[in-house]
Structure 1
Amino acid sequence: MATVKANNIFRFCINQLNIDEKEAITYILLEDAYGITKTDILLNKVFNLKQELLEGQLKRLNAQEPIQQIVGFTYFSSRKFKVSKDVLIPRPETEEIIDLVKDFDSPKPSIIDIGTGSGCIAITLALEIPNATVSALDVSKNALKIAKQNAEDLKANVTFIEADFLSYDEGNFDMIVSNPPYIKNSEREEMSKNVLDFEPALALFVEDENPLIFYTTLAKYGKKHLNKEGFICVEINSYLGQETKEVFIQEGFRDVKLIKDFYDKDRFVTAKS
């Protein structure tokens, strides 16, 4: 343990890193891992620091490991969620799902989040819709461990289900929410190393021959298991917006909408039963 001035720590990190946006990443690392804020750096406060730990984290950053996995958490809808290599790191655009679901007026909705990962969607909905009954399904035992820990930490009442959704046929709900795997294997070359090497392929990729397999299954599941006047909201592959919308139209859903995210990309489909 060494006593070091904050500005020296900051400069050391910048000199050691050879990644894009290294200043922004350094600020995140120092604040989230060590509680050293930008103000502390400006005031050049003194901190006790484990040099070897910091050096190891910088090596991991240089290997393109996501900062969220290095510090062990990220933020979603202003809440802190634990993450690991077993779950997809929540993206800012996914937060828009929360508002889309909340806009669907239902006094005491029963909701299922399919492919819950870290639990960020299910837990946020449970906290922001207090009268809701929320379930969350995932095929990954390790992902569910993270999700359950997040629910416990955030004091959210969520029922977790370990199952393969492609063969799941249980329950009745007012709302279905899902951010399923939707990236085609052929799109891997467009992905950055920090995603390909450190996030779970199970939560990301589908076969090129059947890229809408989860949406087809979601639509069929919804027609069977959504209550009358029910609602479904899914995140989608922006390259397959119209095709995904058509899946729900063909299955007989009403008021099917293709919605853009704040990057102006096709990102969500909503529909009513």
Structure 2
Amino acid sequence: MQSQEVSSAPHQQQPSVSLDHPEKTDGNYYSSSITSPSQHESDGELVDGKEGTAETNTAAASSVPPSQNQNATPDWAHGFRLFNIMAAVTFVSFLMLLDGTIIVAAVSRITDDFNSLNDIGWYGAVYQLGSAVFQPLTGKIYMKFKPKWTFLSFFALFELGSLICGVANSSGMLIGGRVIAGFGTSGMLNGAMIIIAESAPMHRRPTLIGMVMGIAQLGLASGPLFGGLLTQYATWRWCFYLNLPIGGLVAVMLVFVRIPQQHPRPPPMSVVRSIHSDLDLLGFSIFSPALIMLLLALQWGGTTFA
């Protein structure tokens, strides 16, 4: 009986043993776990699947812009590039506030040339009116489009309005030019703040913004002085021509410098397709006429409609 049990023992199926650690025999390492070919295939598929997932994740990570990667170092502007950006936005902010008060000393000469004493209040009011109407829309525009080209577009609109005012041959044409210039200013000051925020780290922004606004306020204070000098020794048209050469210098300074972009914007064509919802044009079309009517009532109240 014992011999039969011994002889039948090799034919019995032994349970598979799986060791966590490899065994060494004749200097070679091998695993004592026994696996079937199907298990190898499934393991291979699993490994391939893991590798595929890793490759997919790597490709997806590489496609993410550096600004979206939390571990990436922000691309702040330094040295001459930062100086160039700050000088450009400072000039623009200075011109914007200068243009609001430079016309004060030139109004009397303008009304004499055009015989338009009744329009004396409009030359300054429509400039602020055009800026106020577009203010709610400019913030959304900067969120959807690149700050550099958006800023230059608003500044080009301001320059166009200044050119129209300079060559105006009637009071109505001058008022129209002031409206266009006001449209441009609606995105200039807030655009300057956005460009500073994109170009400098948080701890440097208060100093840079203070410098820009301090110099810009000089334009607000010195506007009547410049207007009086130009009107007396040249012509009132130079109150508007003055913006053109400085504007050309600013455009050159910004076009050829790369402004950092910490927050990526969507492709322009995708914004154009959904511009109605992205920019809330319906809300803008409701808000703007209401604001215009309010400002007209304040302008005409007590004078035209007493």
Task: Report the TM range for the smaller structure's normalisation.
Answer: under 0.3
What TM-score does the superposition give when structure 1 sets the normalisation length? 0.25
Bigger Rg, structure 1 or 2 = 2
Which one has the bigger helix percentage?
2
Relative contact order, higher structure (CA 8 A, sep 6+): 2
More strand by share: 1
